[in-house]
Structure 1
Amino acid sequence: VALESRGRSLSEPPLKESLDQCMEALDLFLNNHFSESLERLRPRVNDSMYHALIYATVLEMQAMMTFQHDDITNAGNTMKGAQEVCQRYRRKTKSEGDSLSEVQLHAEVCYAECQLQRAALTFLQDENMVSFIKGGMKVRNSYMIYKELHAFVKSHNYVKGPSHLQLEGGIAFGIGAFNLTLSLFPPRILRLLEFAGFSGDKEYGLSLLHDGATGTNLRSMLCALLLLCYYTFLTFILGTAARHHSHHSHHMIYCMGAIFLFFAGRTEEIKGNIDEAVALFEDGCKAQQAWKQFHHMCYWELMWCFTYKRAWRMAYFYADLLSQESRWSKAMYMYMKAAYLSMLPRDEARPFGEDEVDLFRQVPRFKQRIAGKSPPTEKFAIRKARRYKASCPVRLPVPVLEMMYMWNGFSMISKRPELTEGMLQTLMDAERSLLESPGNATCGLDSPHEKKIKFDHYLVPNSLVELGLLYIDQGRRDEAIKLLRKAKQNYKDYSMESRIHFRVHAALAKLKADPGEEDDTHL
């Protein structure tokens, strides 16, 4: 590699050679050889933009799995370093009619991707407004580069170089990711990000990512992973999951890859095939031993799978494993352990002699602060656990089902009558116990009881959203819109508020897009 004098440009290693080596490293990563993958990339992270980008991308994926502050910081710093490597190969001046070399075009797309991933890490650290704004400028700059490149490769000035498929794959990934993710944001957040007049086109984004995922370029895997995250997580967190999901075939390419086994498990879980999901998550754990954090992702899903089956002791077992091994959210794991124990009959012996009241009281002790803020899900768990502070605790009737609702788990069992009926039975038993206990006030929407709610102020806006979604299913469009707007505008400062805003935005966007369709999301 020719290293020229300081201040002048470096000579980029041959593009094809770099791309081939990075494809091999990604292949190793997807087939569970995580350390070997990084070792292949590491020697050239300071001179090859693709080695730098993919090395940082692998670290970012690891950070997303561990959710550890140190890993997120390390990935962010590495991605920043990768961005600096890309900067060296970008054009130095910008004037009309400039022709860019193939290396300069690739440098532009890699630079934009570094910025996009750095913004994603900023958002990952926190769900609040400050993070959205901090990441906002990176997002905006990245978006402008992608937009310019997209227009350029569609113009008659574009001369295809030997690695043009890789370049076009990179642009399609960026434009697809932007359109898809921006379509999910409520307008007020977009305004804060200064995307005035810009809104993402979800269908266009999905089509670009689908095309990208079926290709054979470096970004194919990223397109596939983003689609899998969207279909198996985001749509569920936002409560906009489609009625029908089919297998995304891409995981078949890496049949034994732990990551794709995990997504295959999620896909089965979404279909309501809980036993099949359990088998795939267990296989995902067996497939590799290098990244224990990956096991934790599987344990979290296994915990929910056993929850759907009302196997409270098995679910407790996975919550206990997580509380011992994972640092992602100790408060959440402690809360879930207590919640599962509280679902067991009062007179039944508890595993390890643990006591739910004692565990609930410990929850606030494990509160963590990321960038000065506590994660919304932890805040929710801590607020719920407050009832157990008093010497005579006000017991939670069905804490597991409540948390399951917050993670939108009811959509998982909606296709399985036997699972749904089981949950209904649990609720009816809990209701009977409540009615038999003295001093338990019930509350209804728009009734005087709403003012009497002492602990759970989130109940009313959530109930309005659920009623609104039921009205959508029944074709009562105008009534649904009225309820959704009321939920958004009339209630403030309650648990998981931002999640309700995302759900309301998604539901209103769906109604506006195609009032005659039940759901326009499909695979």
Structure 2
Amino acid sequence: MSAGKGAPVAANSTQMNLQDCLDECMEALDLFLNNQFSESLDKLRPRAKDSMYHSLIYATVLEMQAMMTFQQDDIASASNTMKYAQEVCQRFRRKSSSLGSKASGEELSEEQLHAEVCYAECLLQRAALTFLQDENMVNFIKGGLKVRSSYLIYKELHTFIQSHGSQTGPNHAQLEGGLSFGIGAFNLTLSLFPARILKILEFAGFSGDKEFGLSQLHYGALSHNLRSMLCALLLLCYYTFLSFILGTGEGDVADAESLLKPFRLRYPCSAIFLFFAGRAEEIKGNIDEAVVLFEEGCKAQQAWKQFHHMCYWELMWCFTYKRVWKMAYFYADLLSQESRWSKAMYMYMKAACLSMLPQGEARPFGEDEVELFRQVPTFKQKIAGKSPPTEKFAIRKARRYKASCPIRLQVPVLEMMYMWNGFTMISKRPELTEGMMETLLEAELSLQKSPVNEFTVDDTCVVLLLKGLCLKNQGKIQAAEGCFNTVYNSEKKIKLDHYLIPNALLELSLLYIDLGRKEQAVKLLQKAKNNYKEYSMESRTQFRIHAALSKLKADTSDEGETTVL
């Protein structure tokens, strides 16, 4: 469906009642979760011009696709469709600005209440797409304004529903589901953002209550309503991804699995839920079980290749954890051929995997890692208006290979694995940590035997940081502390890898948190947060620092001294 131009088409005489619309949209979501993506859209499309729910769910499915591809045209299409859905919802809203206003002397109808929650959801989803679309500050502010408007509607609606109980009509559970999703999403996502990012996004005065957000999303996911799937997917993303990539790596896998259980029973072949089940096994360190689930996820459907790419990405890391470099290379190669997300990143991972093989060993397809590293910068692109930080990092690391006689990177795969918090993923499997330690000791020996060069300190510090993580996994706390301190004390000698210093402080603080040395941990986190700027992957490190401070219930604002509360 095109978003359409000019005035929205008026609702026609065959318009369905609210109950029928909700039932048909539930059927469309069932099709979606059973991998029948085209059939799902076909069911929604005919009424997307005159039903607020058909319009919203149709745009939501397109938005999910856009978020998987990260392609500018998909994002623009989803954004236009969501904007149109907002216009459809607007037609059903009460004209009065306030839900509580009795000036007109009329009560709010059930349809008007549903229009409010659908309208707020359109704003929220459009904001998410705006943030994806462009790094331009104007777009960030526009996204922020949409979020503020959405937040205020949800807040007012929440107050209204609390005072009116279930007197809102026969579809009250669906209304509550919409509120649970919106309020839960706000509280959870805002709780993840460091104060300085909230300020940039014009969210001064906004903050999120993580526990309240999680409880709202759980309530929504476990109720049988149209937003159950959205609530569940957001929770699964949080437990299996966000808490690792933007947090301290303590995703509650038990919560993820209990959440998955009813959905897995109801949709046993759903590619989405197979994928999250694989991720849950991966977090537990059950790498072989995870591989099986990701492979099943690929076999489950052929319509949306984007799901395959998500599985390939995880399979690449699974074989990295097992140090089966040729299989990890195989999935990086598949991604480089099929996915448009980040060609530079895939090329870097191909080269990095090959560089881990012994010098004399034959390379698949006769490829040469030096040549592959040299190609990395040529694939630089802007995705949805911006280059992913991991791509920038890969390009910077690969520059070393421009020289006619390049000095090789020691453990490029393991360094990138750190960026995705992979050392936490293997912490429950001693044999995997032992394997990584073996690789790092070989790299250390190689550095000691090589003549000193301009990269020696940087390379040594990379190995030491990763060694510290392995030692921590092995319970060798003093030795791990020694590694992190050595990296920190090398600050003035580091030439290019300045990210190592704030990350060494972060890892040292996480070590101290485990030991109960909270005051020391807070001081180190403050130092990492305030004293270092403009280094590789900075925002990811800042998110993790914020998560660690939040865990300590310490003040996470940017002003003044932080104290443990």
Q: Taking structure 2 as the reference length, what is the TM-score of the superposition?
A: 0.87
Q: Distance in 1 between matches of 2:10 and 2:377?
A: 54
Identify unmatched segments of 5+ residues in structure 2. 1-6, 462-485, 556-565
- Name which of 239, 245, 251 aligns with 2:263: 251
Q: Which amino acid aligns with 1:470?
A: L
- Name which of 223, 226, 233 aligns with 1:215: 223
Q: Distance in 2 between matches of 1:359 and 1:328?
A: 18
Q: Which amino acid aligns with 2:517?
A: R
> Does the CA-based 8 Å contact 2:131-2:139 persist in structure 1?
yes
Alignment match, 1:384:
397
Q: Secondary structure at the match of 1:438?
A: coil
Indicate whether 1:482 and 2:523 are aligned: yes
- Name which of 434, 437, 454 aligns with 2:495: 454
Alignment match, 1:64:
67
Q: Which amino acid aligns with 1:50?
A: Y
Alignment match, 2:512:
471
Alignment match, 1:268:
281
Q: Which amino acid aligns with 2:40?
A: S
Task: Report the alpha carbon displacement of residue 394 of structure 1 after superposing the two structures with TM.
Answer: 1.9
TM-superposition CA deviations, 1:273-308 (whole Å, max 9, x none): 101100000000010011111111110110000011
Q: Which amino acid aligns with 2:206?
A: F
Alignment match, 1:346:
359
Indicate whether 1:491 and 2:532 are aligned: yes
TM-superposition CA deviations, 1:347-399 (whole Å, max 9, x none): 11100000001000100111111354321111010011011111111211000
Q: Distance in 1 between matches of 2:89 and 2:201?
A: 25
Indicate whether 1:436 and 2:449 are aligned: yes
Alignment match, 1:136:
144
- Name which of 78, 84, 87 aligns with 2:81: 78
Within 5 A, what are the aligned runs for 1:182-221?
182-221=190-229
> Does the CA-based 8 Å contact 1:10-1:88 persist in structure 2?
no
> Does the CA-based 8 Å contact 1:467-1:480 persist in structure 2?
yes
Percent of residue pairs identical: 76
> Does the CA-based 8 Å contact 2:248-2:544 persist in structure 1?
yes
Q: Distance in 2 between matches of 1:419 and 1:483?
A: 29
Task: Report the alpha carbon displacement of residue 128 of structure 1 after superposing the two structures with TM.
Answer: 8.1
Alignment match, 2:92:
89
Alignment match, 2:44:
41
> Does the CA-based 8 Å contact 2:488-2:504 persist in structure 1?
no
Q: Distance in 2 between matches of 1:472 and 1:453?
A: 27
Q: Distance in 2 between matches of 1:322 and 1:10?
A: 44
Task: Report the alpha carbon displacement of residue 127 of structure 1 after superposing the two structures with TM.
Answer: 7.0
Q: Which amino acid aligns with 1:400?
A: V
Within 5 A, what are the aligned runs for 1:284-363?
284-363=297-376
> Does the CA-based 8 Å contact 1:240-1:506 persist in structure 2?
yes
Q: Taking structure 1 as the reference length, what is the TM-score of the superposition?
A: 0.94
TM-superposition CA deviations, 1:116-161 (whole Å, max 9, x none): 1111112234678665433101111101000000000001487220
Alignment match, 2:562:
none
> Does the CA-based 8 Å contact 1:332-1:378 persist in structure 2?
yes
Q: What is the RMSD computed on CA atoms of the aligned residues?
A: 1.9
Q: Which amino acid aligns with 1:80?
A: K
Task: Report the alpha carbon displacement of residue 72 of structure 1 after superposing the two structures with TM.
Answer: 1.0
Q: Distance in 2 between matches of 1:381 and 1:7?
A: 46
Q: Which amino acid aligns with 2:426?
A: I
Indicate whether 1:173 and 2:181 are aligned: yes
Identify unmatched segments of 5+ residues in structure 1. 1-5, 515-523
With over 3 angstroms needed to count, the CA separation of the structure-2 counterparts of 1:126 and 1:272, relative to structure 1, is: farther
Alignment match, 1:104:
112
Q: Distance in 2 between matches of 1:437 and 1:235?
A: 39
Q: Which amino acid aligns with 1:333?
A: Y
Task: Work out the number of aligned pairs and report it.
Answer: 508
Q: Which amino acid aligns with 1:110?
A: C
Indicate whether 1:30 and 2:33 are aligned: yes
Q: Distance in 1 between matches of 2:346 and 2:164?
A: 57
Q: Which amino acid aligns with 1:201?
A: D
> Does the CA-based 8 Å contact 1:169-1:218 persist in structure 2?
yes
With over 3 angstroms needed to count, the CA separation of the structure-2 counterparts of 1:159 and 1:342, relative to structure 1, is: same
Q: Which amino acid aligns with 1:20?
A: D
With over 3 angstroms needed to count, the CA separation of the structure-2 counterparts of 1:130 and 1:416, relative to structure 1, is: farther
> Does the CA-based 8 Å contact 1:10-1:89 persist in structure 2?
no
> Does the CA-based 8 Å contact 1:169-1:212 persist in structure 2?
yes
Q: Distance in 2 between matches of 1:423 and 1:49?
A: 53
Q: Which amino acid aligns with 1:27?
A: D
Q: Distance in 2 between matches of 1:471 and 1:484?
A: 11
Q: Secondary structure at the match of 2:552?
A: helix
Task: Report the alpha carbon displacement of residue 91 of structure 1 after superposing the two structures with TM.
Answer: 1.1
